[in-house]
Amino acid sequence: MMLMIHLSCLKLLFAVTEAPQNWSDHALWWEQKNCWLLKNHWTLDKYGVQADADLRFTPQHKPLCLQLPNMKTIKLTITFSSVVFKAVEEICKALNIRRSEELSLLRPPDDPKKKKKKDKGKGQAEDDIIDMDTISGVAGNSLYSKTMTATYDPENGTPASATSLWFGDNPLTASQPNIPAEELAKMYLPLSMEDKAVINAGWLDSSRSLMEQGVQENDKLLLRFKYHCFFDLNPKYDAVRITQLYEQARWAILLEEIECTEEEMLMFASLQYHICKLTMSTKPVDLSDEPEIDEVEAALSHLETTLEGRSTDRILVCISTQPYLFVPSVLCRPKRLLRTFKEYWFVFRDTSISYYKNKESANGEPIEQLHLRGCEVVPDVNVTEKKFGIKLLLPVADGMNEVYIRCDHETQYAKWKAACILASKGKTMAYSSYNTEVKNIQSFLQMKSLAPPPGQAAPDVESMEMNAECFVSPRYAKRYKNKQLSTRILEAHHNISQLTLMEAKLRFIQAWQSLPEFGIKYYIVRFKGCKKDEILGISYNRLIRIDMSTRLPLTTWRFSNMKQWNVNWEIRQVTIEFDQNVSVAFSCQSCDCRVVHEYIGGYIFLSTRSKDQNETLDEELFRKLTGGQE
């Protein structure tokens, strides 16, 4: 009865309101059940609403503060009643970021609810928040301006125009200047795997709405690239996406959220310095002039060349003759803390490495054959010291066997590492991407070279008008005086000084992707039958079981070998079945098992994408793979 009176009063309110108001965006929110009543054809009785229920008649679109990967905060009005997957798609459309399925929303590491009272007067000033609704001139009626509605072609889903034409001078395409070293030092906080596991527990559930997960109007969330599987990066259409990717990678390096060597840190510093110089230059960047690969023209050209009988750039490998590598090299099987290298004759064929006592005995039985399918390939390189090593972590029944291979020079290293990477995925050197992989590795090594070319004069430290310490993490900045650091950054800068702004950002992203820890998210789990907690690392193509005390990987399971996975929602346990009757089960200790379940399903979903598809996502498939049913 009370409920009927409340609803009658609501209708009466509509009737007597003098100023007409559009109520079409409003809906009922049931506080006790923490859910929206959005099915208008359902009766309240069908929802289970009783007379004592407390229903709020509230707008579905509300303002939300979002910290972008570049650490800038924007305010944007988005749908609080849609699931997070749709909300992120809405946000990305407003910001002109393609491939919204790669991003998601993350709670800030420090729970704002606990410090709400303390932070009332200490919050971020309104001047520091970019109000996207005001910029678009929408005043709350629509999220998108007229220049943003034709983002994609309605027929084939491809971008209708270059990014620069959508926004003009868009602040989101410009890289942010590096902050002073003193401010960076305040933000820097060394993170253990356990700390990272706590942060990774903050990802919102993509299958539930914002309000169902306790997010309120004007709350602050982090918009981040969640799935490190970046598909179809095109400089002509992805200026905002590439810049935000670069910013997320830059902050990950500066705050040491991902480990890298000193040589790699200086390489990243030189790229940052180069990007800062180009960003501060007065010459505007015309993104519409960026080269674009027309796949149709390329296919027609290849067909024409083939019909005319001319050779093409594509390498055709005869099926009957599989390519192979052979070289004298040294191998090490570490025993505890001792590494002893011994020289053997190596032959790399298909997806395995065989090694012999010498070249003459290569026609007989090998000493051992190493099968690389499913292995981990970790670089062990220092270009300055001419050290080119490859560490292989080979999966076995009781864990991982560790093997080191040392190469003589850069070219040999690039070929062997490329072959190892492909073999770990079950592919041979006949695969079309082998030569591209070799070139990418060689390009990466060239960037890491800190020694100036012969005959080149020493760099002029005074010409560096920026503080070198702001380009490296605080821990590395303490190792050098500012002048020494400037010299080393300028020496490394010589190798990339000819890159354009967009090329430099893409090189930074590619170098970030080449780091051993790239894209691995850590969670604390307990495997079935074990009495102690362990670390589970989730990457774009594999799961890694890590010993919590030693931080060393024990086992790797690749998604390509996965047959099925499911969740027992009653005991909150994830079970995964792989080929060869391998089955693992674990419960999550640092987060709800739904978070891990969604990560695995999300990467499986992303692996189904292809360039033949348009930009429209199969949302139903995503929900099936990530949502689960309790």
- Residue 52 contacts by C-beta under 8 Å, 6 or more apart in sequence? 2, 3
The interaxial angle of helices 239-254 and 262-280, nearest 10 deg, is 140
Contact 138, 67 (CB under 8 A): no
Contact 94, 77 (CB under 8 A): no
Give me the percent of the chain exceeding a pLDDT of 70: 75
Residue 247 has pLDDT above 80, yes or no: yes
310 vs 464: which has the higher pLDDT: 464
Contact 504, 274 (CB under 8 A): yes
Residue 603 has pLDDT above 70, yes or no: yes
Mind giving me the DSSP string for 400-422? Answer: EEEEEEEESSHHHHHHHHHHHHH
Token digits of residue 445: 């090594």
Contact 287, 162 (CB under 8 A): yes
333 vs 292: which has the higher pLDDT: 333
* pLDDT given for residue 76 in this prediction: 93
CA–CA separation, 110 and 107 (whole Å):
8
pLDDT in tens, 497-510: 889 999 999 999 99
Residue 83 has pLDDT above 70, yes or no: yes
Which SS3 state, helix, strand or coil, does residue 628 take? Answer: coil
CA–CA separation, 339 and 370 (whole Å):
19
Contact 477, 488 (CB under 8 A): no
CA–CA separation, 608 and 115 (whole Å):
42
- Residue 344 contacts by C-beta under 8 Å, 6 or more apart in sequence? 328, 329, 330, 331, 355, 356, 357, 358, 367
Confidence of residue 162 (pLDDT cuts 50, 70, 90): very low
CA–CA separation, 378 and 381 (whole Å):
9
pTM: 0.80
Token digits of residue 594: 């739904």
Helix (H) or strand (E) holding 509: helix 501-513
Helix (H) or strand (E) holding 522: strand 521-527
* pLDDT given for residue 307 in this prediction: 44
Contact 553, 393 (CB under 8 A): yes
pLDDT in tens, 181-215: 899 988 888 889 999 999 999 999 999 999 999 99
Lowest mean pLDDT among 151-165, 521-535, 554-568: 151-165
Mean pLDDT of the chain: 79
* pLDDT given for residue 281 in this prediction: 78
pLDDT in tens, 312-325: 333 222 222 345 56
- Residue 87 contacts by C-beta under 8 Å, 6 or more apart in sequence? 78, 79, 80, 105, 209, 210
22 vs 490: which has the higher pLDDT: 490
pLDDT in tens, 428-444: 898 888 999 999 898 88
Residue 424 has pLDDT above 50, yes or no: yes
* pLDDT given for residue 303 in this prediction: 47
Confidence of residue 8 (pLDDT cuts 50, 70, 90): very low
- The pLDDT of 540-555, averaged and rounded, is 89
* pLDDT given for residue 189 in this prediction: 87
Residue 462 has pLDDT above 80, yes or no: no
* pLDDT given for residue 163 in this prediction: 44
CA–CA separation, 352 and 344 (whole Å):
15
Residue 25 has pLDDT above 60, yes or no: yes
* pLDDT given for residue 447 in this prediction: 80
Token digits of residue 132: 């996207």
CA–CA separation, 339 and 332 (whole Å):
6
pLDDT in tens, 549-570: 998 888 888 888 888 888 998 9
Lowest mean pLDDT among 400-404, 451-455, 540-544: 451-455
63 vs 380: which has the higher pLDDT: 63
Q: Are strands 573-578 and 582-588 parallel, antiparallel or unpaired?
A: antiparallel
Residue 17 has pLDDT above 50, yes or no: no
pLDDT in tens, 91-134: 999 999 999 999 999 999 864 444 444 444 444 445 488 888 77
Mind giving me the DSSP string for 279-315? Answer: HHSSSPP-GGGS----HHHHHHHHHHHHHHT---SSP
Confidence of residue 619 (pLDDT cuts 50, 70, 90): confident
Which amino acid, one-letter code, is at 450?
L
Confidence of residue 7 (pLDDT cuts 50, 70, 90): very low
Residue 628 has pLDDT above 50, yes or no: yes
* pLDDT given for residue 210 in this prediction: 96
Residue 363 has pLDDT above 80, yes or no: yes
